[in-house]
Structure 1
């Protein structure tokens, strides 16, 4: 059947197929999962809940008043990062580590552009050491 006699010319059918492939081929979950996240390069160190690494007499008590437990996915941030939006409760993805961490502590004023990651085991914390990495943090809704 010639194109001029078809209810929809062939070129419209091809456009429709191309649009359907484009829509189905995109992973909206990936786009949605990255929406509202900012990227930042920081220095990352590690700590555990050993008394010599935390407040003596108040093991696991953070500057925000949270009580950390071994195995929590928590980080402390330098105070300059708080001004950038890494406030208490902010969700953070840490390059090289699985899952999402939560800002639950803040560091001494002397530190800049730095995070401190809570590890359950001292051996793992020492293996992590000090690294320059990229993090992603979830930006709070303005509304």
Structure 2
């Protein structure tokens, strides 16, 4: 059976992302000061018409692979400490998400939840007001 190289790459990248989220979960309680804010949450996909001509690359340069638990944040949230790879707990989800992308400058107090290529799931999510809790690394 022939498996295309890009499928193998997607599987490998997804595995490493899962490991990254496990590491965050293991260390999150003691290393972070947790802050909670209310935001508007929408969802997006790795599709050119929703992002740009290279929809599988986030604004920080990360490869986005379906199955990853990551979000894009509005620029004002970057200034509040939601920087690249910040762990985020989203109301209604059990997993920790990582900041891997940023949104257009026109948005404020907003996150976009990455849903791979599942357009139906993104549409079903729609747009909601949610509470998020994010970790700021503690000073040592």
Which band: TM-score by shorter chain? 0.7 to 0.9
- Structure 1 residue 47, shift from structure 2 partner: 0.3
- Cα distance between partner residues in 1 of 2:131 and 2:78: 16
Deviant stretches of 4+, over 2 Å: none
In structure 2, runs of 5+ residues without a counterpart are 1-28
Per-residue CA shift, 1:3-31, capped at 9, x if unaligned?
Answer: xxxxxxxxxxxxxxxxxxxxxxxxxxxxx
User: Cα RMSD over matched residues?
Assistant: 1.7
Aligned to 2:40: 43
Name which of 104, 107, 114 aligns with 1:118: 114
Aligned to 1:128: 125
- Cα distance between partner residues in 1 of 2:81 and 2:105: 16
Name which of 60, 70, 73 aligns with 1:74: 70
Per-residue CA shift, 1:91-143, capped at 9, x if unaligned?
Answer: 00011122000000111111100000001311111111000100000112233
- Structure 1 residue 63, shift from structure 2 partner: 1.1
In structure 1, runs of 5+ residues without a counterpart are 1-31
Aligned to 1:91: 87
Q: Is 1:63 equivalent to 2:76 in the alignment?
A: no
Aligned to 2:6: none
1:92/1:102 contact within 8 Å kept: yes
Give TM-score scaled by structure 1 length. Answer: 0.73
- SS for the counterpart of 2:49 is helix
Give TM-score scaled by structure 2 length. Answer: 0.74
- Cα distance between partner residues in 1 of 2:51 and 2:65: 12
- Cα distance between partner residues in 2 of 1:134 and 1:73: 17
